[in-house]
Amino acid sequence: MREPTHSKTVGYILWIFGFTGSHRFYFGKPLTGILWLCTGGLFLVGWIVDLFLIPGMEKKAELRYKEGPIDYTVAWVLQTFLGPLGIHRIYMGKWITGILYLCTAGLAGIGWAYDYCTLNTQISERNAARTPAFRPAGSNLIEE
């Protein structure tokens, strides 16, 4: 059974600030996240509609992103509150860019904004690289 990658509860908490698009970024919808950010949640109408769409967004995120040792919720909390300091990158094991963000305020905010649009994919790729591939019982493959 798959471990959950995204939390519906966290999605609803972020929905409170939904006029910023934060819940949409969290569930891997960066284009509409930017649209919500620039239009105040699509003039608050889209924000209200999203109250009912969050369960579907959570299910799609569960299917789309790879589970693994890096927790999406932890990374998103770090990105949201400490993003310019690069703490979320250090958490993901990206030490060099994490320290670079720390010294440059998230590359003057541009890197921080980039991470809002790509964080789910970054985590998914890291989790895929860290998760061992399935090997059938009795296979003759030698572990390295």
Residue-level pLDDT at 3? 83
Full domain range(s) for residue 40: 1-64
Question: pLDDT, tens digit, for every residue of 9-38?
Answer: 999 999 998 888 999 999 999 999 999 999
Q: Which residue has the tokens 């608050």?
A: 44
Contact 21, 37 (CB under 8 A): yes
* pLDDT of the residue at 140: 47
Q: 61, 122 in Cβ contact below 8 A?
A: no
Determine how many CB atoms are found less than 10 A away from the CB of residue 22. 22
* Distance, CA of 85 to CA of 117 (rounded, Å): 17
> Measuring CA to CA, which residue among 84, 8, 20, 72 is closest to residue 46?
20
Q: Which amino acid is at 22?
A: S
Q: Which of 47, 64, 81 is where one domain is finished?
A: 64
Domain count, the chain: 2
31: CB partners within 8 A, 6+ apart: none
Q: What was the pLDDT predicted at 137?
A: 52
Q: Over the stretch 63-83, which tens digit does the pLDDT of each residue have?
A: 999 999 999 999 999 999 999
Q: Tell me, yes or no, whether 75 and 41 share the same domain.
A: no
Of 64, 87, 108, the one marking the end of a domain is 64
Task: Summarize pLDDT for 100-112 with one digit per residue, the tens.
Answer: 999 999 999 999 9
CA proximity to 13, closest of 68, 80, 66, 63: 80
Residue type, 90: I
Task: Dump pLDDT digits (tens) for 34-64.
Answer: 999 999 999 999 999 999 999 999 999 999 9
Region 84-99: mean pLDDT is: 97
Which tens digits make up the pLDDT trace of 92-136? Answer: 999 999 999 999 999 999 999 999 999 999 999 999 998 765 544
Statement to judge: residues 48 and 96 lie in one domain: no
